[in-house]
Structure 1
Amino acid sequence: MIGKRIMLLCLAPILFLGGCLNLLSNDSPQTENEDGVKDRPSDFYESVLTYTGDGYFLPYGGKAEKAEDQYKEEVIKATKDYIKKEYKTDIEVHNLVGNQGGYTVFFESKGRLHFYSTAIVPIDFREKRVKTESVWTLEGEVEKG
């Protein structure tokens, strides 16, 4: 009985450290692109500075996702006009993500004041119309950027 306990006490740290050693190894498959920057595998988190909204989805956005080609240009124009009017800033739109009532638009500012943010563009799917007068951003999000 005592022999089993001693063996268990000796074996437990070895098994524990054996599992942790895998975390310490730097064998992650990284490759260099043409700029000499190492690309991370796809299962790592994306940097906030380079994230453009790709791969992002919202619940109940299926209807908008299916109709993206139909509304894309008008949604982009409505977003650019709204940000230009409200914040006097030019932007570049990176991605449109369908939401329940329209699109969430990921964008990046151009010029000296540089930030990333999102805007929400509502769509009336019954009338098949972009509600350009109702574009909005989350309170304080653009200002924080």
Structure 2
Amino acid sequence: MRIKRVFLLIGVSTFLGGCSSLFRDSEEEHIQKVYIRVQDYTGEEYRQPFGKQTGKIAEANRDVIEEATIKYFQETYKTDVKVHNMVGVLKGVKVFAESIGEPHFYTYAYVQIQDNKVLTHLIGAEDYVVQGAIQGGLYHMIFEEEFRKLDRYLESLAEEGRVTGITKEALQNAGGRGFMTPYYFINMRSAEEAIKPVYDLYLRDPDASNKELRNAYEESLFDAENLFINIQLFMSDKGAEPSEEIFNRVTKDLEEMSGIPKATYSFTLNDNLIQRETSEGSKENSFSREFPNEIIRE
């Protein structure tokens, strides 16, 4: 009986060990299915709910949708764009576009699809989204030197080899957040008054010079709590956890650096993985400095 009990215990232990291995393999497979290394992410994996069928219809009518999108941004926002990606959504398609030249920004429009037909005459966009994208691009234009300093700093961090940003392809195919670089994007509230005269001048005269745009800026009306620079970095090495040391160093630098753009800064440091279908990098293990504790530079 003692021998039987020993063999029974060995069998149970082996079974549980095998289950543990199966669970571990299943978890790893799930992670690989949901996430991808940020260096490998192109944004082509981006998806929206209920968009499989409309996505197929959109792809079959790509030329027509591209033409309608380019015309829409030219007529509505006096801006030339190029189309990068089309993602099916419920009853339509989300069209990701990038401005040509300056102001530079990424945005999107929607084209309706009904009864398997593409209705390009019903193309539209969320006006506050596009307006904010253009205003962010204009803000970057007129404070070029300040942004150059911020860019050099973030690029120097990447050159150290421990952190990285998202790829240019991901910006093009799944960005749409206005002025964007691999390391940050700009967005602003509609309440930001200082940039409005610049935006109005741009719509009246898209060829206005940088100097003319800068002169239109109402600096006395600027409120840093209406303009946001959202910085997001990833660890470079596969499997690396977000570094608290790097997070603290960058946070301190953003608080103390001189000559960078006036804005409210948020900062998130992620591990090496990004969600395939949502393009989200933030997770439970990420370090974040964000609302209501952002870094305000005035």
State the TM-score, normalized to the length of structure 1. 0.60
Q: Secondary structure at the match of 1:132?
A: strand
User: CA distance change for structure 1 residues 106 and 53 in 2, over 3 Å: closer, same or farther?
Assistant: farther
Distance in 2 (alpha carbons) for counterparts of 1:52 and 1:120: 21
User: CA distance change for structure 1 residues 67 and 129 in 2, over 3 Å: closer, same or farther?
Assistant: closer
**1:122 matched to which residue of 2?**
112
Q: Secondary structure at the match of 2:104?
A: coil
Residue 85 in structure 1 maps to residue 75 in structure 2: yes
Cα displacement (A) at 1:60? 0.4
Contiguous gaps of at least 5 residues in structure 2: 1-35, 134-298
User: CA distance change for structure 1 residues 102 and 122 in 2, over 3 Å: closer, same or farther?
Assistant: same
**1:8 matched to which residue of 2?**
none
**2:119 matched to which residue of 1?**
131
Distance in 1 (alpha carbons) for counterparts of 2:42 and 2:113: 22
CA deviation vs aligned residue, 1:83-121 (integer Å, no higher than 9, x gap): 111001110111000011111001100022110001111
Cα displacement (A) at 1:67? 2.3
State the TM-score, normalized to the length of structure 2. 0.31
Distance in 2 (alpha carbons) for counterparts of 1:89 and 1:43: 34
Contiguous gaps of at least 5 residues in structure 1: 1-41
User: CA distance change for structure 1 residues 97 and 139 in 2, over 3 Å: closer, same or farther?
Assistant: same
Residue 96 in structure 1 maps to residue 86 in structure 2: yes
Q: Secondary structure at the match of 2:44?
A: coil
After TM superposition, list the pairs within 5 Å mapping 1:27-106 onto structure 2: 42-44=36-38, 53-106=43-96
Distance in 2 (alpha carbons) for counterparts of 1:73 and 1:104: 15
Q: Secondary structure at the match of 2:124?
A: coil
Q: Secondary structure at the match of 2:127?
A: coil
Distance in 2 (alpha carbons) for counterparts of 1:119 and 1:107: 8
Q: Identity over the aligned pairs, expressed in percent?
A: 35
Q: Which structure shows the bigger proportion of residues in helix conformation?
A: 2
Q: Secondary structure at the match of 2:93?
A: strand
Distance in 2 (alpha carbons) for counterparts of 1:115 and 1:74: 23
Cα displacement (A) at 1:81? 1.0
Distance in 2 (alpha carbons) for counterparts of 1:142 and 1:95: 17
**1:112 matched to which residue of 2?**
102
How many residue pairs match? The answer is 99
Distance in 1 (alpha carbons) for counterparts of 2:96 and 2:117: 20
The AA in structure 1 aligned to 2:111 is V
CA deviation vs aligned residue, 1:52-100 (integer Å, no higher than 9, x gap): 7422101100111222332111111111111111001110111000011
- State the Cα RMSD in Å: 2.4
